[in-house]
Amino acid sequence: MNAIFGGVDEDKFKLIQGCKSAKQTWDTLQKSHEGTSSVKRTRLDQLAFQSKHRKMNSSDSIVQFSSKISVIANEAEVMGKTYNKQKLVKKLLRCLPQKFATHKAVMRVAGNTNSVRYDELVGMLKSEKNGV
Question: Under a CB-based contact definition with an 8 Å cutoff, are residues 47 and 55 in contact?
Answer: no
Does position 127 have pLDDT exceeding 80, yes or no?
no
Does position 114 have pLDDT exceeding 60, yes or no?
yes
In the prediction, which pLDDT does 43 show? 85
Going from N- to C-terminal start, the domains of the chain cover 2-34, 44-126
Tell me the per-residue pLDDT of 36-49, one tens digit each, with 9 for 90 and over: 677 778 888 999 89
Tell me the per-residue pLDDT of 76-98, one tens digit each, with 9 for 90 and over: 888 888 888 888 988 998 888 88
Distance separating alpha carbons of residues 81 and 77, to the nearest angstrom: 5
Q: Identity (one letter) of the amino acid at 4? A: I
Tell me the per-residue pLDDT of 21-75, one tens digit each, with 9 for 90 and over: 999 999 898 888 766 677 778 888 999 898 888 888 888 889 999 999 999 999 8
In the prediction, which pLDDT does 34 show? 66
What band does 132 get if pLDDT is binned at 50, 70 and 90? very low
Helix (H, G, I), strand (E, B) or coil at 87: helix
In the prediction, which pLDDT does 11 show? 87
Does position 131 have pLDDT exceeding 50, yes or no?
no
Q: Identity (one letter) of the amino acid at 53? A: H
